[in-house]
Every structure is written in structure tokens, then in C-alpha cells.
Amino acid sequence: MSSVILKNVVKRFGSVTAVDDLSIQIRDREFAVLVGSSGCGKTTALRMIAGLETATSGEIYIGDTCVNDMAPKDRDIAMVFQNYALYPHMNVRDNMGFGLKIRKMSKKEIDTRVEEAADILGIQALLERKPKELSGGQRQRVAVGRAIVRKPKVFLFDEPLSNLDAKLRVAMRAEISKLHRRLGATIIYVTHDQVEAMTMADRIFIMHNGALQQTGAPMEVYGQPANRFVAGFIGSPAMNFIEAKVALEDGAVSIDAVGFRVRAPETFFSRLEPYIGRPVIFGVRPEDMSLHDATMGTSKGNTITANADVVETLGSEIFVHLTCEDQSIVARMEVPDCPPTVGQILEVDLKMSKTHIFDTETSRAIV
């Protein structure tokens, strides 16, 4: 296996910059996920690593070798596409071994590799079937098997689960993660689904408008987003963003918004001091909100009062859509003994130590 390094890589299509000065280093045997919304440049970056697109400028290394001028077939990579691209007239065995056959590998070696891959993926019983006789999940396994038999330095996955239903996507996420551990492979995985990124990656590379926004372990990115885009992209439901102002009151810093005022933790003071009297964006995740329980004797210093507009019950939890003056907020809570009802006025506590504050001009995280 090998590391993959992109140094100041740019890709332009005419006047459009699809990838803008991208520099990343993916470690040997790492499961790296490039994630972002459609059009952010993640698939273009993957295709440049594969050699299917030529970089306008910058350098791409697989291991210690610069591959900018190297043909795709010589890069020792294997790619799994969103479209399974199986040959309909071939059975599973021939589909998986076809790439090896055109490389003039012996039939014995091809059969050995196909059997090994089929055993890893649990598709031994499917080897004589044609693609039309397979389910979507089985076809995806065959596509992955076709990559495994190559024994490449790097596996590239381009949104491989997009064509599967929700239940099968969950199952295949686990299968690909187990495959990574079993093979000890370097995997670069592209997706627009932040849930896939969070559950599968060793490290996430978040892209927006062709540029890298933040890199880190899933929980690091979740807990310490670098800017407003990352904060809003990672997490479901998305983080609530509220226009507010930093105020100083009795020696303490508070966050003032239309309809409520909450006190900032002391650990925020040094970073917020330069912003006293200035507007900021106050961010709170839905899961960092809970119904105020007066019996617990907790202070109301971090409590807001809001009207319940919509209550969505999901069994183990509820989503409550709230309105506080003109602010719309979503709260994600455990189901209480007496669930709130539409139209009810609620007191909601915020976990202030887990809230986020962003600069209105730069969108960078202040806290």
C-alpha cells in the first residue's frame, strides 16, 4: 500500500476552477474520505489521482512517485464507481477477473485471486450468475471484488453507495469498513453524505467550492469546526445559526440575540473579549439542547423560551422545531415522559460549553 500526496493541485475547466490549490496528505493504510456538497471538487480530485483528469498545475504523488504524467493503468490503483459498470454478458467470475485477463495473467492466478476476493466479500455462491440476476447490493460487492483482485496500492471509491436504498447503505458502510481493516488498504472514498464520512473515515477532508475547508478525525471536525460551513455541513440535523451580539454584563460575557440572552462560559472570555459590542453568529447543535427540568435545580442562565411549531417523533428521540421571536431553531432531544405538543411554550436549556461562535465577516470559528 502507499500514501497519496497532492501538492497545490489546481484543476480548471475553461474559466471554471473546479479544484483550487488543494494540498492533502493521505497516509499509508488510511481510510480517507473527501466529503462535500455537489460541485465542491471532490470527484474531480479523485479522478486526478486516478489519472482520468489531468491537473492544470500542482503535483500528485502515489508513494514516492510523481504520477502527473503517468497513464492510469500504470498508477497501480483500483477504482469503484457509483455506476457498477459490470459487463452484462459475463458472469460474476469473469467480471471480477476481466482486468487481470487483459493484463495477460495466468488463468490459475486469476482464479485464485477471484476466489480469495469472493471469500472476503461472501459472494462465493454468486460467481456463476450474470449481473441481471443480482441485487443492487450484490452488484456493488462484485464491483468491489473487481477492485480487490487487482491488489492495488490505493483503492478509490466514487460515491459507491448512492444507488442503494437506505437500509442497504448502512449494511454496505459496515462491509467496506470491515474490508479496510481486513486488507489494511489505503482507501480514498468520495461522498456527499456526511453520515458516511463520519462513520467510516479515519480522517475527513471537507471541501467547498473547490477548496479544502478542514481536515481531521470525524469527532474532531464535529466538535471543533473551523468555520461556519463545516459546522453546518457536519451533523444532522444541521447546527442552528443565530445572529447575535457579544455583550459585557457585570463582568461576565453574554450572547444577546433577538428573544434571548445566555451567558458564555468563562473559558470563552479571552476569545470573545475583542468582540464585545460586535455582531457574531451563535451556533448550537440540536443535540446540545434539552427541556428545562425545574426539579433538577439547574440555573436558568442558559435557558431560552420558545414556541413548539412542529414535533417530530422518531421513537428513541424527538425533533422539536422551535420559534423564539423571529429565530427558527431545531432541537434534538430524548423522548420525555410528557412529550411537548405543537403550540406549547417550552423552556429549553443550552449546553453552553458545546456552543460555537463565528465571525460574521470571515465565517471563521471564534470559539
Domain boundaries of the chain, sorted by first residue:
4-233, 240-359
**pTM reported for the whole predicted model:** 0.92
pLDDT at 293: 78
- CA-based torsion, 290, 295, 297, 303: positive or negative: positive
pLDDT digits (tens, 9 = 90+) for 47-63: 999 999 999 999 999 99
- For residue 65 the three cell numbers come to 512517485
Q: How far apart are CA 159 and CA 174, in angstroms?
A: 15
Residue range 313-332, pLDDT digits in tens? 998 899 999 999 989 999 99
pLDDT at 166 over 90: no
**The pLDDT of residue 295 is above 70:** no
Q: Which amino acid is at 10?
A: V
User: What fold is seen in the domain 240-359?
Assistant: OB fold (Dihydrolipoamide Acetyltransferase, E2P) (2.40.50)
Residue position matching grid coordinates 464520512: 197
Question: How far is the CA of 146 from the CAs of 49, 93, 95, 119, 152, in angstroms?
Answer: 19, 9, 7, 13, 11
Task: Output the pLDDT for position 297.
Answer: 57
Does 262 have pLDDT greater than 60? yes
Instruction: Please give the pLDDT value at position 165.
Output: 86
Taking residue 236's Cβ as centre, other Cβ atoms within 10 Å add up to 14
Q: Which residues pair with 77 in a beta bridge?
A: 154
Report pLDDT for 124: 94
CA nearest 272: which of 285, 244, 253, 257?
A: 253
- In this structure, what are the phi and psi dihedrals at residue 110, rounded to the nearest 5 degrees? -60, -50
Give the residue-averaged pLDDT of 181-202. Answer: 95
For residue 82, the model assigns a pLDDT of 85
For position 280, what pLDDT does the model report?
Answer: 98
pLDDT band at 163 (very low <50, low <70, confident <90, very high): confident
Lowest mean pLDDT among 73-77, 80-84, 158-162: 80-84
Task: For the beta carbon of residue 290, count every other beta carbon within 10 angstroms.
Answer: 16
Rounded Cα distance, 138 and 136, in Å? 5
What's the burial of 108, exposed, middle or buried (CB within 10 Å: 0-12/13-18/19+)?
A: exposed
Whether the Cβ atoms of residue 352 and residue 339 lie closer than 8 Å to each other: no
How many helices (DSSP H) and strands (DSSP E) are in the chain? 9, 20
Phi-psi region of 12 (alpha: psi -120 to 50; beta: other; left: phi over 0): beta
Tell me the average pLDDT of the chain.
94
CA angle 58, 64, 66 (to 5 degrees): 35
For residue 299, pLDDT over 70 is answered with: no
Residue 296 has pLDDT above 80, yes or no: no
pLDDT confidence bin for 298, thresholds 50/70/90: low
Q: What is the pLDDT of residue 113?
A: 95
Is pLDDT of 300 > 70? no
Q: Give percent above pLDDT 70 in the chain.
A: 98
In the block, residue with C-alpha cell 487483459: 102
Consecutive H or E run containing 4 = strand 4-13
Confidence of residue 249 (pLDDT cuts 50, 70, 90): confident
The band of 338, judged by pLDDT with boundaries at 50, 70 and 90, is confident
pLDDT at 326: 86
Centroid of chain to Cα 188: 12
Gap between the Cα atoms of 329 and 27, Å rounded: 39
Q: pLDDT tens across 5-50, in order?
A: 999 999 999 999 999 999 999 999 999 999 999 999 999 999 999 9
Torsion of the alpha carbons at 270, 275, 277 and 279, rounded to the nearest 10: -140
Q: Out of 40-49, 169-178, 238-247, 304-313, which region has the weakest mean confidence (pLDDT)?
A: 169-178
Please state the rounded mean pLDDT for residues 161-180.
89
Instruction: Assign domain 4-233 one CATH number from 3.30.420.340, 3.40.630.40, 1.10.10.10, 3.40.50.300.
Output: 3.40.50.300
Which of 336, 333, 314 minimizes the C-alpha distance to 322?
333
Give 240-244 contacts, CB < 8 A, sequence gap 24+: 240/283, 240/284, 240/285, 240/286, 240/329, 240/330, 241/281, 241/282, 241/283, 241/358, 242/281, 242/282, 242/283, 242/284, 242/327, 242/329, 243/279, 243/281, 243/282, 243/360, 244/279, 244/280, 244/281, 244/282
